């Protein structure tokens, strides 16, 4: 494996870092205090080609590889988890799933404008009574010939008030359990659709998160993604993509914690010397560095498998689990390094700690990923290829 970034990837990192420093860093503390999501960031990301980073150019994307997407997520989360989340949901969960499972007509109608950033995509799987237990879904889609009648509710939906298109999962035949779940492309403007933001979140306060509701929404037959009964497989393949971006974002959060802590170590003195000279502080800094490097390697390994069009559920699960745990620990240590000041929003590390908790829960809790990894090792779970794998990336970056 080549561990060096290409010139194009270095340029991409610098571009996103400059964007974050200019457009996010000066405002994020206020946005977080106010619980405000600034939607103007999205078209600015689109102007840089970041809303369809790894979508092929023929579908409106930038045609970069999947580790370039990881770089984008790293740098965005260095600014704040909310904006990495927006790209994770729009690109990882929605657009990459359309690329993998959509018909040509669906790609032209929905994927192309999303990749260009003209429309925003989101993902609707979780319900009030169905999180890790996907089979507990209550949403239904009744086949009425030319269309389906969709009823139900989804919760903890990122971009709930912002997205134009949603990938929604509902039962078309409950008697078949997980084989009776189907996937649909739903538009916000359709009659019977509504949304409501969730307030009072512990973290990611500058992100738009909430609930979406369907009351007899008429979904055209051509908006069925894949075949009836393929929804569970589609949802799981989407999570392979989304988890990859979450893991990459966690790398960015570790990076932010390390940067803030190193800076503070050089500013603060105790007992007549910089706090960085104290060995217990050095241990926390060293642990952050170790977590950063190990997490990045796990993420880029999963990215290489994606570049090759290979099944990566096991590798992506491991990357997501470990990177998010490392980020949570790095944020906790960063607060400790800052002492009492770390408990105040005068410094960003208290926000990092609050933000670091959600990724340990969503897109597979640490407990779910622990079980998955154990079952792979014990031989209870196999990496069987899906009938539709993520298309291999064939651009210049991989070939170099």
The catalytic residue positions are: 363
In sequence order, what E strands does the chain have?
Answer: 121-124, 140-143, 147-158, 165-171, 181-187, 193-197, 209-220, 224-225, 269-270, 273-274
Among 157, 52, 160, 48, which residue's Cα sits nearest to residue 99? 52
Distance in angstroms (rounded) separating the CA atoms of residues 72 and 45 = 10
Among 356, 360, 350, 353, which residue's Cα sits nearest to residue 29? 350
Other beta carbons within 10 angstroms of residue 283's beta carbon come to 11
**DSSP string of 146-172?**
SEEEEEEEEEEEETTTT-SEEEEEEES
Other beta carbons within 10 angstroms of residue 4's beta carbon come to 8
Distance in angstroms (rounded) separating the CA atoms of residues 225 and 221 = 9
Rounded to 10 deg, the angle between the 313-338 and 349-361 helix axes is 150
Distance in angstroms (rounded) separating the CA atoms of residues 168 and 186 = 7
Among 55, 116, 48, which residue's Cα sits nearest to residue 76? 48
Instruction: Give helix then strand counts, H and E, for the chain.
Output: 14, 10
């Amino acid at each position: 494996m080549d561990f060096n970034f290409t010139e194009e990837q270095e340029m991409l990192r610098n571009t996103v870092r400059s964007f974050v420093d200019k457009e996010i860093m000066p405002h994020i503390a206020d946005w977080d205090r106010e619980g405000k999501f600034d939607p103007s960031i999205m078209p600015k990301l689109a102007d840089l080609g970041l809303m369809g980073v790894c979508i092929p150019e023929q579908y409106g994307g930038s045609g970069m590889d999947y580790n370039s997407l990881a770089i984008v997520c790293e740098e965005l989360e260095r600014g704040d988890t909310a904006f990495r989340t927006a790209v994770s949901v729009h690109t990882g969960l929605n657009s990459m799933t359309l690329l993998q499972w959509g018909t040509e007509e669906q790609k032209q109608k929905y994927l192309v404008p999303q990749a260009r950033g003209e429309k925003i995509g989101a993902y609707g799987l979780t319900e009030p009574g169905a999180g890790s237990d996907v089979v507990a879904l209550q949403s239904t889609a009744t086949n009425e010939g030319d269309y389906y009648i969709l009823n139900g509710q989804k919760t903890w939906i990122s971009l709930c008030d912002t997205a134009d298109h949603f990938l929604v999962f509902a039962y078309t035949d409950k008697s078949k359990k997980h084989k009776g779940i189907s996937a649909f492309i739903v538009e916000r403007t359709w009659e019977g659709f509504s949304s409501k933001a969730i307030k009072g979140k512990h973290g990611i306060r500058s992100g738009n998160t909430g609930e979406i509701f369907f009351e007899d929404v008429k979904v055209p037959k051509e908006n069925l993604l894949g075949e009836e009964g393929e929804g569970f497989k589609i949802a799981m393949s989407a999570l392979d993509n989304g988890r990859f971006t979450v893991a990459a974002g966690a790398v960015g959060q570790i990076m932010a914690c390390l940067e803030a802590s190193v800076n503070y170590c050089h500013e603060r003195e105790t007992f007549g010397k910089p706090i960085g000279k104290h060995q217990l502080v050095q241990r926390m800094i060293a642990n952050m560095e170790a977590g950063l490097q190990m997490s990045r390697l796990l993420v880029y390994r999963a990215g290489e498998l994606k570049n090759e069009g290979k099944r990566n559920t096991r590798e992506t699960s491991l990357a997501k689990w470990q990177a998010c745990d490392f980020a949570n620990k790095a944020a906790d240590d960063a607060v400790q390094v800052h002492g009492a000041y770390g408990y105040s929003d005068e410094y960003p590390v208290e926000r990092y700690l609050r933000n670091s908790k959600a990724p340990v829960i969503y897109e597979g809790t640490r407990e779910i990923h622990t079980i998955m990894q154990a079952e792979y090792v014990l031989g209870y779970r196999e990496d069987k290829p899906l009938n539709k794998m993520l298309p291999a990336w064939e651009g210049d970056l991989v070939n170099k």
